Amino acid sequence: MPTGAAERNDHGRTRVQRACQGSAYWSEPFPPDSERCTRRVCGLLGLICPTEELAGYSVNAVANALPCQRHRGPDESDTWQGGEVVLGFNRLSIIDLEHSHQPLTWGPPENPQRYTITFNGEIYNYLELRAELIEQYGARFATDGDTEVIVAAYHYMGPHSVGRLRGMFAFMIWDDERKVVYGARDPFGIKPLFYASGPGGTAFASEKKSLLSLANTLKISEEIDHKAMQHYFVLQYVPEPESLHRQIRRIESGTSFTISPGGQLVTERYFQPNFRPRPANTEADVKRLQDEIVDVMRDSVAKHMRADVTVGSFLSGGIDSTAIAALAKEHNPNLITFTTGFERQGYSEVDVAAESAAAIGVKHVVRTVSAEEMMEALPLITWYLDDPVADPALVPLWFIAREARQHVKVVLSGEGADELFGGYTIYREPLSLAPFEKVPGALRKAMGKVSSRIPEGVRGKDLLRRGSLELEERYYGNARIFRDDQLRGIMRAFDPGVSHKDITGAPYSLSKDWDPVTRMQHVDLFTWLRGDILVKADKMTMANSLELRVPFLDPEVFRVASTVPLEQKITPETTKYALRQALYQVVPAHVLNRRKLGFPVPIRHWLKDEMHDWARNIIQQSQTDHLLDRRAILQLLEEHRSGVLDHSRRLWALLVFMLWHAIFIEGRLAPEVPEPHYPVRL
């Protein structure tokens, strides 16, 4: 090991010199295990080397890669080495604020140093699991937190214990006796986990930036994955398990893995979402379903409120976030809610959110965002993202997260309700396209050819085109940015062999006997939810060292939601019908049947006016000519400005990609990353 690279403490662990935002310091000595309780959302980094000697030489590299994700855990940073493994951790303390430290070592009485874990997330049923482990196995615990519970469950129950965890998580457990790493990611993909393998070993991290910092150690290429790039321009996000760097992938949601030093990664899916609708033909059936929905949501919110710090809630004005806030208020009478909006009519839920906050009796904080602020913040936001996500709603989310962090350390949010209960307007499409199902196949194909001859922007063109297609052809998630014929003229390396079916094929094959709406929900769980919704939720909150919890995305909530029959999800008048009816006893009446807005962003207007010159400069300065046709993109911008066609979503996808390329590939743009320090105003 290099001189001065590391030193051992009395517990056999290694502490190395650490760097935070460019300043180096030495860690404090480890407290005794009896004082250690770990429960927090943070950032993990782990390296499995072929040999122990190589691991010893790599400890500084891991320590130096941790600052890239310090915003995920600004309270503390530690690095540990044992055998062929180096583990790093950035801590955001949520529970047991004085004594929580990771990585954590645990073992049974006969081998108390056997396991070492690094864990990003929260286990909401850890108290119940802990009691079960003590009663059934005589498990011993030195802390009061959830991290030990994960390890003990793995030791006594085996790898399938991951299916018992109710929470959001990504973790790695090093078994020093068997010389193997076991890890997993939560069922829905709330917490991220990237990995990369090369001759220097295999590394896992909460942020891709940390793996890029280890590129020389791992001996991996930083080459762009053109297939992933093409998927991005179609979907507006990079789908799992891909990333825009060819040699960096992601552990998929609901998946566990094992790897030994010098060995190959082996993955296994432990969670497969399965919808099992049951009839609700009588009033008693419907009432029973509604009661189950309210009961399971009340239980989920109660468990998601467990924390030793103040918990707030996002409030967009819709039914999902309002329900979460109303249920959270039952546990915290002093709940603070947060919303964001824009000074443009039709693009803000500020007034409705304020009305909801008043109705449920909570303190409410509003943050209004301007076009100028968006333009200034977008490069930094893109740096936090790791891979581009062309969802403009993530920008106001970043601003409201920054505001919320001045008041609280944890927020609840309503993500997942639409996918579980059938909330997207697009889910009603099978109703509108039902007449096309009766048309003979040959005639439907002919209709598709007719639609291709209709000029862009003409009303009815897209309906005719979509009506001519089977579900597997036409639906690949909520976002459809570029069609193949549009992208062919923009992307120089366009590959006609790359298709959305590369991503949606497996979910469709597993749901072939279900109704069209449920199949669409199933596809969204594997695409839109984990590729867009949860990425922006995690990245934008953790960028501000704020923990976001999503009570709808709970295995018990899914168990109930999976039983909702089609007619209780979608009607000709509304979506997520059963959820709306169930929440009459919880949510103020004025929000129950409102049209869904979320955090809409007026980029269609801004790209014509306030943002036009800014967008043009990004396009002209971009060094992506080998990837994209600059003249074609400038033409899109001018067509949009003149009002010929609305290209706002396609332009936004291109602009975000160009900023990403300038930061991560060209190195031409280096946003100033603020020191993650947040004095909380209570």
Element (H, E) at 258: strand 255-259
Q: CB under 8 Å to 55, separation ≥6 — which residues? A: 47, 49, 81, 83, 84, 85, 86, 201
Q: Quote the Cα angle for 451-457-458, to 5°.
A: 55
**What are the angstrom distances between the C-alpha of 615 and each of 46, 157, 490, 631?**
39, 55, 16, 14
Sign of CA dihedral 41, 45, 48, 54: negative
Structure-token pair, residue 37: 């309780």
Question: What b/e string do you get for 73-93 counting C-beta neighbours within 10 Å, with b at 16 or more?
Answer: bbbbbbbbbbbbbbbbbbbbb
Asked if residues 472 and 208 have their Cβ atoms less than 8 Å apart, the reply is: no
**CA–CA separation, 587 vs 593, rounded Å?**
11
Q: Which residues does the annotation mark as catalytic?
A: 42
**CA–CA separation, 67 vs 49, rounded Å?**
21
User: Tokens 């909702």 — which residue?
Assistant: 564
Please confirm whether the linkage preceding 572 is cis (ω < 30° from 0): no
Sign of CA dihedral 130, 131, 132, 138: positive
DSSP code, position 27: P
Asked if residues 304 and 549 have their Cβ atoms less than 8 Å apart, the reply is: yes
Question: What b/e string do you get for 264-289 counting C-beta neighbours within 10 Å, with b at 16 or more?
Answer: ebebeebbebebebeebeeeeebeeb
